[in-house]
Amino acid sequence: MVPKLRKKKEKQEKKNKTSISPSIGDISSKLNKIDALVEIDKLKNLAINYKVNADFEKAINTADKIMRLAVKFDMPSLIKEQEKFMNTMAEKVQKDYFISKIHDVSEVITDQYTKLIKSNRIMQAHALIEGFKKEYDEFSYFSSIPAVQELIDIDKKNWIKYQVKFKDKYDGIFKDEQEELIILIDAINKYHDELIEDGQLDEANNIIEEFIKKYEDNSNIMSLQNVQTLIKKKREA
């Protein structure tokens, strides 16, 4: 073969070989990516174990390592997956923090509440619990915390007892007051009729208006039959 033709053929074969065969850099890159995937798989298992054991901060740190490898080797789906995982772990860290904080506050509240109950200051004790609930009720897990749940249950029982006791006391007072009111209303009715007979319509209406103005905020008194009769007289006048 002519030397020139041989050289040309060898040059063409070399060119073809170069274009077909992968470079050493490409092979190295592929091997590195495979190594990265193996490492990522190990880290993912480790992160899951941390999550199961409620060691959320270590789970976040491990996910961060996975993210760095995913960014380096251009794995967008893995990046998105780890972002979601890290956000979930961050929420759990935040929840743990607030549960711990609420638990500490509940201990202080319990101590104050116990002192108020012992000194028979039931209304103040109940107001203390209501304020505590208002402060942290935005957290969905607030009332499920055992210490909080126990405190709320105790207050509920004490508050019901107080209301029943107060109602019995109030009913007794109102019964005495009611008897006095019936006497007063009978007197007003009698005086009203006398004024009407004398033609003093304005004066008759005035005494009823004064009575209504005095007791209009008391639904128990205003609902009495004698009072309703008195109001009806004013309307008919």
Q: Quick check: helix, strand or coil at residue 55?
A: coil
The DSSP letter of residue 144 is G
Burial (0-12, 13-18, 19+ Cβ within 10 Å), 198: exposed
Whether residue 187 lies inside any domain: the answer is yes
Residues 123, 125, 127, 128: what is their CA dihedral angle, to the nearest 10 degrees?
A: 170
Whether residue 6 lies inside any domain: the answer is no
Whether residue 217 lies inside any domain: the answer is yes
Number of domains comprising the chain: 1
Whether residue 228 lies inside any domain: the answer is yes
Whether residue 55 lies inside any domain: the answer is no
The DSSP letter of residue 142 is G
Segment among 7-11, 20-24, 131-135, 201-205 with least mean pLDDT:
20-24
Which H, E and C letters describe 158-201, residue by residue? HHHHHHHHHHHHHHHHHHHHHHHHHHHHHHHHHHHHHHHHCCCH
Question: What is the mean pLDDT of the segment spanning 189-194?
Answer: 79
Question: What is the mean pLDDT of the segment spanning 159-165?
Answer: 75
Are the C-beta atoms of 69 and 39 separated by less than 8 Å?
A: yes
Segment among 78-92, 120-134, 167-181 with least mean pLDDT:
167-181
Tokens for 133?
Answer: 């609930």
Main-chain phi, psi angles of 33, to 5 degrees: -65, -40
Whether residue 31 lies inside any domain: the answer is no
Which stretch, 53-57, 125-129, 141-145, 195-199, has highest mean pLDDT?
125-129
The pLDDT tens digits of the residues spanning 70-79 come to 888 888 888 8
Cα separation, 178 vs 167, in Å, equals: 15
Question: What is the mean pLDDT of the segment spanning 120-140?
Answer: 86
Whether residue 107 lies inside any domain: the answer is no
Are the C-beta atoms of 107 and 147 separated by less than 8 Å?
A: yes
Alpha helices in the chain (DSSP H): 3-20, 24-52, 56-72, 76-118, 122-136, 146-197, 201-215, 219-222, 225-236
The residue among 77, 75, 46, 76 whose CA lies nearest residue 60 is 46
Segment among 98-102, 156-160, 166-170, 224-228 with least mean pLDDT:
166-170
**Domain, as residue range, for 232:** 162-236
The DSSP letter of residue 22 is P
The pLDDT tens digits of the residues spanning 195-233 come to 788 888 888 788 888 878 877 777 777 777 777 887 787
Torsion over CA: 54, 60, 61, 62 (sign): positive
Tokens for 178?
Answer: 């009611």
Whether residue 176 lies inside any domain: the answer is yes
The DSSP letter of residue 224 is S
The pLDDT tens digits of the residues spanning 73-116 come to 888 888 888 888 888 887 887 787 888 888 889 999 999 999 99
Question: What is the mean pLDDT of the segment spanning 132-160?
Answer: 86
pLDDT of residue 171: 54
**Pairwise pLDDT comparison (58 vs 180), residue with the higher score:** 58
